[in-house]
Amino acid sequence: MKNVINPSHTKELLKQFDFRMTKRLGQNFLIDQGILDEIIEGAELTKDDYVLEIGPGMGSMTQKLCETAGKVVAVEIDKNLLPVLKVTLSEYDNITVINGDILKLNIKDTLQEHFGDRKAKVVANLPYYITTPIIMKLLEEKLNLQSITIMVQKEVGDRIKAAPGGKEYGALSVAVQYYAKPSQVLFVPPHSFIPQPEVDSIVLKLDILSKPAVEVEDEGMFFRVVKASFGQRRKTLLNALTAGNFGISKEQMKEVLNSVGIDEGRRGETLSLQEFANIANKLYK
Ligand code: SAM
């Protein structure tokens, strides 16, 4: 019973373990061999790579990861899947399955324990109900990561990779692009999963930058400026920032914007990361 992706094997396993999928845990299992191969290819793995997988499910992608990478650590919250994974991953000796919640796990210690100082790659078909918290945790904790290749809901993926000016560009685009360079690997239709999700999906690769995309004096100030600028989308930048509790008057905020050459009448969604950084650095001073 080796290949999970084979639909008849998947059904046999589900029956054998009397396993019922839990919608609440975002359990939509990938059943398309071609898509799986493209994800693995997109993640650019070799036997030198150490991989962290989030949510292995029944192990379809995990099997491929074990075959392609040097070592794999997979974190799965649902303990009912552990006996299934024991069977589907029995032939591999380079896998460790951890039963736990990725949002509560000390990822830094886990990576250190299993991978030492080697940079890891994250590969995951994410549970959609916690996509953003997982991505932000991976990025903000400044882990020893080289890249993050993830399946996400298309609408969220479009926001992550959006450029300034469009309606998809927002605080999430800026936050991710501060730490990483996103690119789309492939589009994935709902019929590639059981059960089928109600949304389209895309696979994104986030290449972690060796240093943040822009230089900021204080990260807290940078993210406060970003949050305030997008907080009230219908307001001009000047009004949105003035409402952001930076402890300065509207006149002073106008001077700040003037001094960095940004028109006060612009909207937050037109600003580049560099422009947000320029405002934040000025305010910090
Ligand atoms: N990798 C499998 C596949 O591609 O078929 C399953 C992907 S499924 C979309 C998401 C998986 O994440 C499920 O197995 C689910 O139980 C698991 N999961 C959900 N919440 C989690 C959490 N907080 N921490 C770890 N795993 C989680």
- C-alpha 101 – ligand 1 centre gap (Å): 10
C-alpha–C-alpha distance, residues 129 and 22, integer Å: 12
* b/e per residue 17-30 (b: at least 16 CB within 10 A): bebebeeebbbbbb
Strands 95-99 vs 180-188: parallel, antiparallel or unpaired: unpaired
Residue closest by Cα to atom 18 of ligand 1: 55
CA distance 73 to 96: 5
Provide the sign of the torsion angle of the four alpha carbons 75, 119, 137, 141, taken in this order: positive
> What single letter denotes the amino acid at residue 281?
N
Does position 65 have pLDDT exceeding 90, yes or no? yes
Cα of 129 vs centre of ligand 1, distance in Å, is: 10
* Distance from the alpha carbon of residue 102 to the mean position of ligand 1, in angstroms: 10
pLDDT at res. 181: 98
Contact criterion met (CB below 8 Å) for 147 and 208: yes
Closest CA to 219 of 168, 270, 272, 175: 175
Distances (CA, A) of 250 to 36, 217, 280: 53, 23, 16
Mean pLDDT within 51-75: 97
Q: What is the pLDDT of residues 107-157, one digit of tens each?
A: 999 999 999 999 999 999 999 999 999 999 999 999 999 999 999 999 999
Residue nearest atom 20 in ligand 1 by C-alpha distance: 25
Q: In one letter, which amino acid is 1?
A: M
CA of 125 to the centre of ligand 1 (A): 7
- Tens-digit pLDDT profile for residues 39-59: 999 999 999 999 999 999 999
Q: Is the separation of the CB atoms in 122 and 43 below 8 Å?
A: no
Q: What is the mean pLDDT of residues 21-27?
A: 92
Report which protein residue has its CA nearest ligand 1's atom 19: 25
pLDDT in tens, 261-284: 999 999 999 999 999 999 999 999
Identify the residue whose C-alpha is closest to ligand 1 atom 12. Answer: 55
Bigger pLDDT: 12 vs 160:
160
**Closest residue by CA, ligand 1 atom 22:** 101
Mean pLDDT of 249-257: 96
Q: Whose CA is nearest to atom 1 of ligand 1?
A: 56
Identify the band that residue 233 occupies on the pLDDT scale cut at 50, 70 and 90.
confident
pLDDT tens digit sequence for 163-213 = 999 999 999 999 999 999 999 999 999 999 989 999 999 999 999 999 999
Strands 71-76, 145-153: pairing kind: unpaired
**pLDDT score, position 2:** 59
Q: Which domains does the chain have, with CATH numbers?
A: 7-208 (3.40.50.150), 219-284 (1.10.8.100)
Contacts of 210 (CB under 8 A, 6+ apart): none
219-231 and 171-179 helices, crossing angle to 10°: 150
Q: Is the pLDDT of residue 34 over 80?
A: yes
Distance between CA 62 and CA 72 in Å, rounded? 8
* Residue in 76, 81, 152 to alter for ligand 1 test, most ligand atoms within 8 A of Cβ: 76
Tell me which of 5, 19, 54 to substitute to probe ligand 1's pocket, judged by most ligand atoms within 8 Å of the beta carbon: 54
| CB-defined site of ligand 1, < 6 Å | 25-30, 54-57, 60-61, 75-78, 101-103, 125, 127, 130
pTM: 0.95
Does 1 have pLDDT greater than 60?
no
